[in-house]
Amino acid sequence: MKKNLVFLGAPGAGKGTIAALLIKDSPLVHISTGDIFRSEIKNKTELGTKAKSFIDSGALVPDELVVDMVVSRLQCEDCNSGYILDGFPRTVPQAELLDKALMKMNKPLDAVIFFNAKDEVLLERLTARITCKECGVNFNKLFSPPKKDGVCDMCNGVLYQRSDDSLETAKNRLVVYKEQTEPVIGYYKGPMLKEIDAEPATDINYNALKKAIEL
Ligand SMILES: [Zn+2]
């Protein structure tokens, strides 16, 4: 099977859900930059301390530093059996830096999976979460709707949409994705890039993915 993987696709495409299924069926390690940031900062490593100083001042963490943190994670022994980079690289400069580092480590990528879905499908998924005003429990209009419209199953509280789940926020996330990350797909264009239709149900996507990576 192909073992050093990148998962690309817009927010809402389901990369994380598929990655969670794949790590149960394979020895691959699921790597998200968010997790790496949190652990480097928590452990007060040199890289983590640097990253924190950018975050605290409200600045973006520079590409070099992001890639250094990912590469330091890829050097851990568990990654020898393969890895999934979930939503990384996020920009073309990150992709270039990653390529250079992987070449040095002699651990090149085996496949880049692009999860493709139309904007309307992505927006529907990104705005599907509704939250109870009383007890804070989450429902999903698509996958786990409440029994009664607008009413919490647990406490009969009123359900509402948090501002980070609003249509406006979702649209903004897609704009940022198109500007910064979509060009990364062009960067990887070639035999290594495998496109998967991310619109059907999760089990269908997952089977398509298993085929693409020869699992
Ligand atoms: Zn409730």
* pLDDT (tens digit per residue) in 159-200: 999 999 999 999 999 999 999 999 999 999 999 999 999 999
pLDDT on residue 131: 96
Alpha-carbon distance of 92 to 122, in angstroms, equals: 23
Distance 12 CA to ligand 1 centre (A): 25
Domain that holds residue 94: 4-119+176-212
- On whether the CB atoms of residues 30 and 73 are closer than 8 A, the answer is no
For residue 161, is it within any domain? no
Q: Is 50 exposed, middle or buried (0-12, 13-18, 19+ CB in 10 A)?
A: middle
What is the token pair recorded at 17? 């859900």
Distance 132 CA to ligand 1 centre (A): 5
For residue 136, is it within any domain? no
What is the token pair recorded at 93? 């400069």
pLDDT on residue 4: 97
Number of domains in the chain: 1
- Residues assigned a catalytic role: 15, 90, 129, 162, 173
- On whether the CB atoms of residues 95 and 187 are closer than 8 A, the answer is yes
CATH number at residue 33: 3.40.50.300
For residue 128, is it within any domain? no
For residue 125, is it within any domain? no
Sequence-separated (6 or more) residues with CB below 8 Å from residue 31: 70, 73, 74, 79, 83, 84, 85, 86, 88
pLDDT on residue 201: 85
Distance 162 CA to ligand 1 centre (A): 14
Distance 156 CA to ligand 1 centre (A): 6
For residue 94, is it within any domain? yes
Helix or strand or coil: residue 32? strand
Distance 138 CA to ligand 1 centre (A): 9
For residue 154, is it within any domain? no
> Degrees (nearest 5) of the Cα angle 147, 153, 154?
165
Q: pLDDT tens across 54-84, in order?
A: 989 988 899 999 999 999 999 999 999 999 9
The predicted model gives 135-150 an average pLDDT of 95
Distance 125 CA to ligand 1 centre (A): 22
For residue 48, is it within any domain? yes
Please tell me the pTM assigned to this model.
0.90
Mean pLDDT, all residues of the chain: 94
* Residues lying with their CB under 5 A of ligand 1, a single-atom ion: 132, 134-135, 152, 154-155, 157
For residue 193, is it within any domain? yes
